[in-house]
Amino acid sequence: MEEAQTRLQKIGLDETTIKNTIKGKNALKSILQTLDLIGVQECDKKIGNLLYEMSQNLTEALDNRRALLAKYIVEGKITNKLQLEGALEYLRTHTHLEQIPAEDFDKAAGVGIVVTPEQIKNTVAEFLKTKQDLKTIRYTYNFSEYTKQVRSLLPFAEGKLLTQELNQQIEAILGPKTEEDLKAAKTQVKKPQQQQQQQQQVQQQAEEEDDCKFDISKLVARDLATTVNSEQLLNWRKQNFPYEVLTRFPPEPNGYLHIGHAKSINFNFRLAQHYKGVTYLRFDDTNPEKECQEFIDNIKENLRFLGYTPFKTTHASDNFGKLYDYAVQLIQKGKAYCCFLTKEESSKLRSDLKPSPYRDTQPAENLEIFRKMKMGYYKENEVCLRAKIDPTHPNPTLRDPAIFRIRFTPHPHQGEKWCIYPLYDFTHCICDSIEGITHSCCTLEFEVRRDLYYWFLKELDLYRPFVWEFSRLNVSNTVLSKRKLHHLVFNNIVDGWDDPRILTLNGLRRRGYTADSINKFCDLISVTRKGNENIIGMHVLESCIRKDLDIKAPRTMAILEPIVAIIDNVAEDFSEELEVAIIPRNPQKGNRKILLTKQIYLDKNDVRTEDHPDFWGVAPGKIIGLKQCGPFKVLSVTANEVHLERLGKDVKPKGFLHWLSVKEATPCVARLYDYLFEAYDPNELDDYIKGINPNSKIVCSNALMHKDLLNSKPEDKVQFERLGYFNLDFDSKDGKFIWNRTVTLQEKDKIKAIAQVDGKQVQKKDVPQQKKDAPKKEAKKE
Ligand SMILES: NC(=O)CC[C@H](N)C(=O)O
C-alpha cells in the first residue's frame, strides 16, 4: 500500500484522493493499470489528475480504450475534464468500432480547440457589457452566477483562467473595494466566517464546473449535435408528439421506491418542465414473477406524494403485441433465432465466446418455433428467442442476448393473455421509441446496455431517443440496493418497507420528511455522470428537512421521561397563562397559550440528584430556566420529585428547559431514531449487516405531550422544543398518539462540539454529558 501511495503522490494527486483511492480497491487498480500501461512514473499534477479521472470513468466496455485516452492525455491533446468527458462520451457511443476514426474523435474531444487568453479576455469583456447593473450593485453581484454564465460561453476554456479574468475585469470597472462595499458585504452575510465559507464554496463550485457537470441545457444541446435519426424518423416523431422534450420515469413494479428513485423522478420531470415538455410514468413490467399490483399502486402514490403528475401513465406490457411483432421482424431479417440450450449451456458458451448451435436456424423455422412458444407449446426455459448479434463481442450484453422467454405466470396488468414475455433490454428501447421519448435517462449501471439499446432500434428502423446515464445516489449510513432493503425487511431487521429508518419514500414519509424537503435535496445534489462511488452524507438530507420544518412546524413541548416538579413558593391553585409564538420566525401563524401551574413535569434526562460542574440542568442548588417563563432555583431533587422556587426575572440562568403543566400534559409515545448503520458506508464491509446500529430505535412509551395536540392527525408535524421535529405516525388512532422523531434540532456532530444556550455560545465544558439519543441540548434561540 505504501508503494501505491508513493506512486499516486508522484502523479500529483491530493492526499484525500489518495486516501480514498487506496480504500476503494477498484479505483486503485484502475489508476495503477493506466500508469503501468503507459509506463508513467511521475508527471505533472494536471496530467496525473486527468489520468486518474479517466481511469475512474472507464467501464468494462471501454477498457480497451484506456491506452488511447491515456496517450491523448499525456500528449496534451486532452487537457481538461470537459474534453475528457467529450472523449469518453464519444467512445461510449462507439463501442462497436474497432478503429476509432481520429478526426471524429478529436472533434468530440475538442482536441486542438485552444482557448487563448485573448479569447477569454474578449469574451469576459463582452459578457460584462451585458451586466448593466453591475455598477449599481457593485461587489454584491452573484459571483457563482456570473462564473456559470461566462463558462457557458467558453466551455473549453480553463476554469481558473476564466475566473481570474472575470475578477480582474470587474475590479477594473468598479475600482478597489470601498468601505461602503465592505459594509454592504457585511450586511449581506452576518458572520465573516460564514461569508468566507460561502465564498470558498462558490469558488470550489466554480472549479468543479471543470468537472463537466452537465446542466440540462448542455444535455439537450449534445442531443441535437449527435442526433442520429433519419429525417423520416424525426418527422414521424414530430407529427406524433407535440413536445420537443419528452422524458419518462420507468420503474419496475417489483419493490418500493427510495430516495434514489426520487432523484430520477425529480430529474426527469424537471428536465421536461424546463423545455415545456412532459413526462410519462411507465411501468417497466416485463417480469410477472416479481411484479404485483401492490407495488404499482404504491409507486403511483409515491409520485403523488412528491408532487409530480405524470402526463400519462403507461405500461410496457401494453406493448407486448407490438414487441411480439418486432421480434417477428427480427427473425425475418435473420437477426433473431430460437435457442434450445439450457441456461447453463448458454452461459458457458457465452463466457467462452462461442456461438449457439441454433444460431443458423433458418428464419422460416424460427418463425414457426416462436409462434409455438406463444401458443404454449413448450415448457418454461425449454427454448428462448435470442438476438443474433455477436457471440464474441467484448461487451457481454451484445453476445446474442435473450429477448423473449416462456413463463406460465399471469401478469399483474395483462392477466393470462401471454405465456411469453419480452426481456428488459428489448422492451425498454422499443417502448421509449414508441412513446416518442427524447431523453432516456438512467443510472450508470445501464451504460453497458446502451449499445444494445441502439442496436435494436437500428435493426428495426425505429426512432432513437438519446440515452444518457447519471450516477446513482449513495447516502451515508444506510443501504439503498433493492436486495439489501429486501433483506432488512424480510428478516425483520426493520419494521417493514415504511420503517422510518430506511430511505424508501414510504419510510422517509413516515419519518416526517416532506415532499419539499426531498425535492430540495434532489436539487441540491444535482445530477452528474461522476462516478457511482460518491456518497452524500446523511446530514445533507437532514439539513433539508430541518430547514423546511423550521418554517412549517408549530412549536410545542413534550416530555420523554417525566418527573414531577413542584414550585414551592406559589399557591396550591396557582396558574399563569403564557402566550408564545407558534412559529417564532413566522408571526403570522399567531400565538399559542400555555399554563404554568404549581405542579409541572420535567424530563428525567435533565435532572440529576447530584450536581457536577459540567452539568447545567436540574440538580440541588442550581439556577435553571424554564422555557417561556424565566428562572427558578432548584431546592431539592429525589429520584421521583423535584422542588423549585420561582425567582425574579433579573436572574440569568445558563439554560432553559422544556416542561409541561400537569394540567396540560397528556400521554403519548415518542420514537427516537438514529442512523440505521453506524458504518459510514456499510456497503464497504464484508458483511454490511455488521454495520448495523443496535440503538437505531428507542421508544419512549411514557412520554407526555401538550393537550393542544389531541386534535393532531397522522402526518402532522411539530417541533417539540429542545427535542427535535416530530411527525405523527400513521398508527396513531383510538386516542393513542405516536410521534416519530424526524430529526434533532441540530446536526449530530455539532451537538457534540458546541451548544448554544439561548443564543449565547458556551464552552464545551458547559455541555452536559449526553447519552446516545438522549434528548439533545437545544441549538437555536427561539
Ligand atoms: N433505463 C432505466 O432507467 C432502467 C429502468 C428499470 N426499469 C429500473 O427500474 O431500473
The predicted-structure confidence for 304-356, as pLDDT tens digits, reads as follows: 999 999 999 999 999 999 999 999 999 999 999 999 999 999 999 999 999 99
Can you name the residues that pair with 677 across neighbouring β-strands?
692
CB contact set of 130 (below 8 Å; sequence gap of 6+): none
Q: In testing the pocket of ligand 1, which one of 265, 430, 442, 453 has its CB within 8 Å of the most ligand atoms? A: 442
User: Measured from the CB, is residue 250 less than 6 Å from ligand 1?
Assistant: yes
Q: How far is the CA of 250 from the centre of ligand 1 (A)?
A: 6
Q: How far is the CA of 56 from the centre of ligand 1 (A)?
A: 23
pLDDT of residue 216: 57
H or E element in which residue 206 lies: helix 192-208
Alpha-carbon distance of 778 to 657, in angstroms, equals 9
pLDDT of residue 101: 85
pLDDT of residue 766: 33
Q: The C-alpha cell of 341 is what?
A: 440450450
Does residue 37 carry a pLDDT above 70?
Answer: yes
Can you name the residues that pair with 672 across neighbouring β-strands?
698
What percent of the chain has pLDDT above 70? Answer: 89
User: Measured from the CB, is residue 446 less than 6 Å from ligand 1?
Assistant: yes
Q: List the single range of 136-140, 226-230, 600-604, 733-737 with lowest mean pLDDT.
A: 226-230
Please give the full DSSP string across 388-435, using - where no structure is assigned: -S-TT-SSGGGSS-EEEEE----BTTTBTS-SEEE-HHHHHHHHHHHT
Q: What are phi and psi of 612, to 5 degrees?
A: -150, 140
Q: How far is the CA of 449 from the centre of ligand 1 (A)?
A: 11
Q: Is the dihedral angle over the CA atoms 503, 509, 514, 515 positive or is it negative?
A: positive
The ipTM of this complex is: 0.94
Does residue 502 carry a pLDDT above 50?
Answer: yes
Alpha-carbon distance of 32 to 37, in angstroms, equals 8
pLDDT of residue 188: 56
Q: In testing the pocket of ligand 1, which one of 446, 467, 470 has its CB within 8 Å of the most ligand atoms? A: 446
Specify whether the CB–CB gap between 640 and 604 falls below 8 A: no
pLDDT of residue 201: 55
pLDDT of residue 280: 98
pLDDT of residue 762: 36
Does residue 202 carry a pLDDT above 50?
Answer: no
Q: How far is the CA of 62 from the centre of ligand 1 (A)?
A: 22
pLDDT of residue 441: 93
pLDDT of residue 220: 61
What's the rounded mean pLDDT across residues 265-294? 93
Active-site residue among 252, 459, 533, 678?
A: 252
pLDDT of residue 533: 67
pLDDT of residue 98: 80
pLDDT of residue 752: 45
Alpha-carbon distance of 37 to 65, in angstroms, equals 11
What's the rounded mean pLDDT across residues 230-249? 93
Specify whether the CB–CB gap between 262 and 505 falls below 8 A: yes
User: Measured from the CB, is residue 523 less than 6 Å from ligand 1?
Assistant: no
Q: Which atom of ligand 1 is nearest to the CA of 428?
A: 1
Give the SS3 label for residue 624: strand
pLDDT of residue 131: 85
What's the rounded mean pLDDT across residues 116-144? 85
Nearest alpha carbon, ligand 1 atom 6? 251
What's the rounded mean pLDDT across residues 41-56? 91
Does residue 62 carry a pLDDT above 70?
Answer: yes
pLDDT-derived band at 518, boundaries 50, 70, 90 = very high
Specify whether the CB–CB gap between 338 and 387 falls below 8 A: no
Alpha-carbon distance of 692 to 499, in angstroms, equals 15
pLDDT tens across 666-679, in order?
A: 999 999 999 999 99
Instruction: Report the predicted TM-score, pTM, of the whole model to 2 decimal places.
Output: 0.71
Alpha-carbon distance of 682 to 479, in angstroms, equals 7
pLDDT of residue 312: 97
Q: Which atom of ligand 1 is nearest to the CA of 284?
A: 7
Please state, rounded to an integer, the average pLDDT across all residues of the chain: 87
500 burial (CB, 10 Å; 0-12 / 13-18 / 19+) is: buried
Does residue 769 carry a pLDDT above 50?
Answer: no
pLDDT tens across 373-388, in order?
A: 999 999 999 999 999 9
Q: List the single range of 5-9, 192-196, 626-630, 698-702 with lowest mean pLDDT.
A: 192-196
Does residue 268 carry a pLDDT above 90?
Answer: yes
Residue with cell 475585469: 169
Nearest alpha carbon, ligand 1 atom 10? 251
pLDDT of residue 781: 31
What's the rounded mean pLDDT across residues 71-90? 85
650 burial (CB, 10 Å; 0-12 / 13-18 / 19+) is: exposed
User: Measured from the CB, is residue 465 less than 6 Å from ligand 1?
Assistant: no
Specify whether the CB–CB gap between 779 and 750 falls below 8 A: yes
Q: Which atom of ligand 1 is nearest to the CA of 424?
A: 7
pLDDT tens across 380-420, in order?
A: 999 999 999 999 999 999 999 999 999 999 999 999 999 99
Clarify whether 501 is annotated catalytic: no
User: Measured from the CB, is residue 261 less than 6 Å from ligand 1?
Assistant: no
Q: What are phi and psi of 562, to 5 degrees?
A: -75, 145
What's the rounded mean pLDDT across residues 631-646? 96
CB contact set of 406 (below 8 Å; sequence gap of 6+): 373, 378, 379, 380, 381, 382, 383, 384, 419, 420, 421
Clarify whether 482 is annotated catalytic: yes
Active-site residue among 151, 248, 450, 472?
A: 472
pLDDT of residue 25: 77
User: Measured from the CB, is residue 251 less than 6 Å from ligand 1?
Assistant: yes
What's the rounded mean pLDDT across residues 264-274? 92
Does residue 163 carry a pLDDT above 60?
Answer: yes
Does residue 751 carry a pLDDT above 60?
Answer: no
In this predicted model, which residue has the larger pLDDT, 234 or 534? 234
End-to-end CA distance of the chain: 52
pLDDT of residue 749: 53
Nearest alpha carbon, ligand 1 atom 9? 251
What's the rounded mean pLDDT across residues 132-138? 86
pLDDT tens across 586-602, in order?
A: 889 999 999 999 999 99
pLDDT-derived band at 534, boundaries 50, 70, 90 = confident
In this predicted model, which residue has the larger pLDDT, 568 or 122? 568
Active-site residue among 10, 218, 482, 589?
A: 482
